[in-house]
Structure 1
């Protein structure tokens, strides 16, 4: 089973990430434009179409939201205790906690889900919901924590940033269209479908181009502490919550796998934007993504074998 997961799920992901890194080295791609295309068109289109074709019931949606709230609360409590026990300064506490809470549910999690579940609509809609919740967390807690440490206020930026996020709107529109059985005309449905089909390749190429600009440094203990929490402790929490909440079948497997994503690029982007430990944040993205080739393989194997 491990060999097939490596060949069918993990290897294709990292081949595309590697291709993106190579292209960035050769051509110095316009990362700003790539990120905007992903953020404002491809990802919202994928979320909208996933929710539109979703087989997720209202009760399952509520269960997933509960799972995610508990998952984040436990990770936050662990990060809070660790950073204060080690007497990190305020700015570092914010950067460390963001590196643990803000995972790569979008341009890494969505493709992994797509490959692991062979484009299953239910699994895709679950990952879309997790990605939307992650976006909400990023532009509320993620920004607030750094602003509290660095800017002492100016929370107007948070509200504006949240209102500019396209993914929650796409999520709501997809759910409404599905709830009222509204047919999508071809001139709308086909462009959205084409964008959804391009998501895996474009998202992973972009991720590869983004992480290659970070120089690899292996001499910081705090990076390894973040790594352990993000790619080892977090999926253990996800597994225990799935079992505790009685979530079985594809939803349970999808949530277990979603809990094991590496640190998201947004954690680094926020750190750079506000000048708050940008080197640490960049390293957590790079190192956790590299290590994830091992941990995500193990996690998919566990998710498929525990019988949830």
Structure 2
């Protein structure tokens, strides 16, 4: 019960309040959600990724192990989603929206605070979470863009869009600056820190604005798709992560702290990136918004249960 109350008070309630502010602002002033989406994609998200990678010391061995897990996890979870998409008979843009709602999870503004709470701000487990966050930041800006555009754009146009995303250049640049100990000039470092600090608030406000702009209506098929997405993300996700870690331990050593951090990281709700992609590229924004919102609410119970099982 203490874990549940802590997660509710320190993670879910603050996120919900920020979403509520965006919802209210949209209802009062009809904000331009496209502008908010572009700010997130091209300014705030690259800044927060660069800042974390630039300021955190992570060993090459740790990076290798976490990346191996991340690749195997995404491939197998992707296979599960594809099976669900085919059995469900989803077509067009909904196929990509479903994939994104399951494969992209909230590893930054939900995952990092949750990691610090669950592991008492342990720097080792935080490093694990940061690497997961990097992979989850890169995927929406590459595969995610391809997924939502594959049914309506040719490959060349899609690749041009992907190559225009700053995040794919920011990640290697941050690793270079960190690895070689290159110090940023103060006039450059300070704005990056300011922009990084603005990421979480702006992303949550954007979700609230999108929810506020939706025409809330009962659509049985849409709701059943949202439930399917949440089930694959919140239940199958951590179960699959635990299975992968058990299997990988036969080949490489994954200590208990890393294993626990990886399982917790896989249990978080759907990423705001799925909403930003849906809004930016006009692809099933209503489904994406509801999937993020409901998965965040349901995670109050599911994430607490996962942490409880790990404690046992």
* TM-score bin, normalised by smaller chain: 0.7 to 0.9
The answer to whether 1:240 aligns with 2:247 is: no
Instruction: Please point out which of 288, 293, 302 is paired with 1:286.
Output: 293
Instruction: Please point out which of 41, 47, 50 is paired with 1:48.
Output: 50
Give the structure 2 partner of residue 28 of structure 1: 30
Structure 2 Cα separation of the partners of residues 275 and 194 of structure 1: 30
Give the structure 1 partner of residue 178 of structure 2: 178
Structure 1 Cα separation of the partners of residues 196 and 118 of structure 2: 16
Structure 1 Cα separation of the partners of residues 57 and 101 of structure 2: 32
Greater displacement, 50-59 / 211-220? 211-220
Greater displacement, 87-96 / 159-168? 87-96
1:25-74 deviations in Å (ceiling 9; x for gaps): 22223322222222222222221121112121112112222111111111
Unpaired runs of 5+ residues, structure 2, are none
1:161-180 deviations in Å (ceiling 9; x for gaps): 22122223222122111111
The answer to whether 1:259 aligns with 2:259 is: no
With structure 2 as the length reference, what TM-score do the two structures score? 0.80
Give the structure 1 partner of residue 205 of structure 2: 205
The answer to whether 1:219 aligns with 2:220 is: yes
| Contact persistence 1:13–1:111 (CA under 8 A) | no
| Contact persistence 1:20–1:209 (CA under 8 A) | yes
| Contact persistence 1:103–1:264 (CA under 8 A) | yes
Give the structure 1 partner of residue 231 of structure 2: 228
The answer to whether 1:298 aligns with 2:305 is: yes
Greater displacement, 194-203 / 243-252? 243-252
Structure 2 Cα separation of the partners of residues 218 and 208 of structure 1: 20
Structure 1 Cα separation of the partners of residues 47 and 286 of structure 2: 32
Give the structure 2 partner of residue 13 of structure 1: 15
Residues 166/119 of structure 1: CA separation in 2 closer, same or farther (3 Å cut): farther
Structure 1 Cα separation of the partners of residues 227 and 97 of structure 2: 14
Q: State the Cα RMSD in Å.
A: 3.2
Structure 2 Cα separation of the partners of residues 31 and 107 of structure 1: 20
Structure 1 Cα separation of the partners of residues 225 and 300 of structure 2: 21
| Contact persistence 1:231–1:262 (CA under 8 A) | yes
Q: CA deviation at 1:228?
A: 0.6
Structure 1 Cα separation of the partners of residues 129 and 241 of structure 2: 14
Greater displacement, 10-19 / 256-265? 256-265
Structure 2 Cα separation of the partners of residues 222 and 93 of structure 1: 10
Residues 161/42 of structure 1: CA separation in 2 closer, same or farther (3 Å cut): same
Greater displacement, 128-137 / 72-81? 128-137
Q: How many residues align?
A: 303
Residues 82/45 of structure 1: CA separation in 2 closer, same or farther (3 Å cut): closer
Structure 1 Cα separation of the partners of residues 8 and 21 of structure 2: 18
Structure 1 Cα separation of the partners of residues 120 and 138 of structure 2: 27
For 1:137-152, list aligned pairs within 5 A.
137-148=139-150, 150-151=151-152
Residues 272/4 of structure 1: CA separation in 2 closer, same or farther (3 Å cut): closer
Structure 2 Cα separation of the partners of residues 28 and 224 of structure 1: 29
Structure 2 Cα separation of the partners of residues 111 and 32 of structure 1: 28
Give the structure 2 partner of residue 156 of structure 1: 156
Residues 161/248 of structure 1: CA separation in 2 closer, same or farther (3 Å cut): farther
Partner secondary structure for residue 139 of structure 2: helix
Q: CA deviation at 1:115?
A: 6.6
